Amino acid sequence: MDKHKYLEKYFNDLRNVINFDSDKIKNLIEVSEVLLKANRKGKKTRIFGNGGSAAIASHFSIDCNNKLKIKCLNFNEASILTCFSNDYGYENWVKKALEQFSEKGDLVILISSSGESKNMIFASKFTKIKKIKTVTLTGFNKKNTLSKSGYIDIWINSKVYNFVENSHQIILLSIIDSISNLKIK
């Protein structure tokens, strides 16, 4: 396949993945409402991801704080990540961060392309016990472990990492833009 055909197919496939139906849009509206409700109650949003999903989490967090004046934190600082991973194991670092820095009424957003990242699954189990609302963004298999544990799950029907991650970025930034442009607070 030549370069032109490859890229043409790539973008057609990506377009099909991000062609969100009415149900997915309802989920995005619900996430916006939960985010705003937590903020109105003086609560915070915590967002986590691994690798590329961590970068997406950072982008969302910055835009929440800067554009929307919504308190949103991610824990991508190397010192906390390596400290908690060293002391509690990588699979437990997100849970430990939530134990120390979250409370009932907060909102937690967990991003995992596969939905099988142990640190996200353990964090979700913790939020369920503590009754902290959790939004999960996943992909790959529809019945992945993480997608079954969230209050709201937004699943991307793709097994291609970049398609899933790009879709998660579009979803989260569309939430920022919809709140910002509709002047909802």
Q: What are the tens digits of pLDDT across the range 44-67?
A: 999 999 999 999 999 999 999 999
Query: Tokens in use for 123?
Result: 């964090």
Alpha-carbon torsion (33, 117, 22, 64), positive or negative: positive
Contact 137, 109 (CB under 8 A): yes
For the chain, the average pLDDT equals 94
CA-angle at 81, arms to 77 and 83, nearest 5°? 120
Rounded Cα–Cα distance for residues 80 and 5 (Å): 45
What pTM did the predictor assign?
0.94
Q: What is the 3-state secondary structure (H, E, C) of 111-131?
A: EECCCCCHHHHHHHHHHHHCC
Side chain identity at residue 150, one-letter code: G
Q: pLDDT (tens digit, 9 = 90+) per residue, 72-117?
A: 999 888 899 999 999 999 999 999 999 999 999 999 999 999 999 9
User: Residue 141 burial (CB < 10 Å; 0-12/13-18/19+)?
Assistant: middle
Angstrom distance (rounded) from CA 25 to CA 31: 10
Share of the chain above pLDDT 70, in %: 98
